[in-house]
Amino acid sequence: MTKDFRKIIIVFISLFVLFAAAVTVSEIVNYNHILRTYPQSGQIAVPDTVQVTMPTQAAFNFQKSKVTTWLIRLFLSFAVPAFFIFSKLSIHIRNWAAGRARRWISIIILYFIVYSVIETLIYLPLDIYTGFFRMHQYGLSNQTFVQWLTDTIKNFIVNTVLTGAIIWVPFLIIKKSPKRWWLYIALISIPYLFIVSYIQPVVIDPIFNHYKPVEDSQLALKIEDLLHKTPIGDCQVYQVDKSKETNQMNAYMTGVFNTKRIVLWDTTINYLDTDEVLGVTAHEMGHYLMGHVWKSIVFGGLGSILILYLIYRLMGYILRKAKGRLGFGKVSDIAAFPLIILLINMMMFFTAPITNAYSRSMETEADRFELELTRNNFATATATVKLHQQSLTMPEPGSVYMLWTYDHPTFKSRVDFANNYRPWENGQPLKYQKFIKEGK
């Protein structure tokens, strides 16, 4: 390791410690703020208004654990690829793969499989704690360890197979166009994300869970009536058997064109009343009607142009400085894969506050549409309370943690919005009237 790289590592560790300190301080400040300002009881303060109350001690403890393990995982996202680089492990894997495969594409795929296995094993202790033991500790999981491990292995196989099948494509582009690869890869990411969005609901998701139409016939009819109030078209609504895994609630919009669907976890249907489920459904309808899936695909692809360009420049600078001492001198060398991952993780870290802010704005739009369609502020607010309290979510996190991890508005802000947003009561126009059919 050269002197320059040692300096970089020392600077990085120092900056990470400062960032971790900032996260910790903001969490302490927020903890004291919640203790001073949140009431102990009395969720409903006045008619038709929902009040967020003091979190339980379990929620406080869960938040501390989540912040700690997030910082550990964040550190590993930089440390693990750096380990592959500076230990020369990446070079050894490349040479091993080259000795067992003749074709260039086969070498890349074989390298990626070995890299993925080693990386997964490094993260496995943390994944076992956060995904299994901690979830049971706080009563959020229904899985046995065998079930959890089976799902983890399936997830690894699916991700490795899908990524391994195409991992050679960007390296081929880099090899053929060493000065413009960043642009071409960013542009092809848009159709790639579209294809993934199209096939995921019908090919990938059913590998992990069973999807079926909403079983409650009365609820299904009311959901159908809600859909008919909008021009959403042939959108299907399914329930998924998540109760075999978790006690948490969720719902999401997925797919494009004829694979678009709204998915309600069966826990959501079981734990919420009918009006609350309709509100959750309306929120997901808003995502589709406002084109959030499309916008995310296009903006993600366009944003990757800047990110990949910066990576291209940084890769060139690092390789020139290294002068071959890293064991590879070209970006197209598969041994450079950990360096690419390291730089991607760095870019994702720096852009996280921006992408999360954009995501939160879309969630607010969907909340607004939900209220304008259902005009049931109370059900929206109570559903929000139940969804978050069931998951031991803090009404407000520390500001730094929120900026870097929250792709949804805070629990408290969403309840406040549900309580206060009522333009129809004052004869004001609805922002999303064009999505709501007249007379419905």
Which residues are annotated binding-site positions for Zn(2+)?
283, 287, 363
* C-alpha–C-alpha distance, residues 430 and 432, integer Å: 6
* C-alpha–C-alpha distance, residues 151 and 156, integer Å: 9
Closest by CA position to 390, among listed 407, 411, 374, 409: 411
Q: Where are the alpha helices (DSSP H) in 375-425?
A: 377-390, 399-405, 411-420
DSSP state of 336: G
Strand partners, 213: 238
Of 27, 245, 284, 370, the catalytic one is 284
* C-alpha–C-alpha distance, residues 17 and 12, integer Å: 9
The reply to whether 367 belongs to the active site is yes
The reply to whether 216 belongs to the active site is no
Q: Where are the alpha helices (DSSP H) in 210-336?
A: 217-228, 266-271, 274-289, 292-322
The answer to whether 70 and 62 have CB atoms below 8 angstroms apart is: no
**Residue 418: how many other CB atoms lie within 10 Å:** 26
Strand partners, 239: 212, 264
Quick check: helix, strand or coil at residue 179? coil
DSSP state of 329: -
Of 367, 370, 396, 416, the catalytic one is 367
- DSSP codes of every residue in 310-326: HHHHHHHHHHHHHTTTT
Which residues are catalytic, by number?
Answer: 284, 367
